[in-house]
Chain A
């Protein structure tokens, strides 16, 4: 069965650079979520989209933005990267009634 696909799997950037993370949800899933997980931490909710519109916003910094496109894939754009942005970034998708939230394998971002 198709799963949530995230790319790239690993990304190395320098401070003040920009990064774009991509997420392809499970087919027919209408909701996409982005989470950030620092080393040894639980995931922190960043933002979610339902039917291509932002549905909820968490602790997403102003330097980050995200959108969901007409094919339901989503991109997380990160600018002016800081060392503290180094983390595992997960995308997840779900369908109503949202009983199952499936995660991608994550993108490991390292900011040097």
Chain B
């Protein structure tokens, strides 16, 4: 069974609009962390934001915020005021504290239109 599900293979968004990228996860661990990474066409993997399972407040990093709904097991990434440079592949990932691995979603390809 998929542990991380990103239901949007691709998205087109108008520049300056807000974007929500979906991510749902499945784990029986009580302690885990959720990550979002951005991978532009150049290939590097850029850390965006992290949410711990015990964090009561949603994580925010600049224009990025994570809409964490623990009961629903969702960790959607919200990008406010999108920019052309936001065009990239976005991966949601989870790390269960019982091991060191990151479990990845299939990614969402985001294209920002001018």
Residues of A within 8 A of B (CB): 31, 33, 35, 42-43, 45, 48, 50, 55-56, 58, 88, 90, 92, 98-106, 108
Contact = CB atoms under 8 A, between A and B. Distances in A.
Given A42-B91, A98-B95, A55 B100 contact: yes
Interface of B: 33, 35, 37, 43-47, 50, 52, 91, 95, 99-102, 104-107
A72 to B, nearest CB: 15
A45 B102 contact: yes
A99 B45 contact: no
Given A43-B45, A101-B102, A105-B44, 17 more contacts: A31-B100, A33-B100, A33-B101, A43-B91, A43-B104, A45-B102, A55-B100, A56-B100, A88-B43, A92-B45, A99-B33, A99-B52, A101-B35, A103-B47, A105-B43, A106-B43, A108-B43
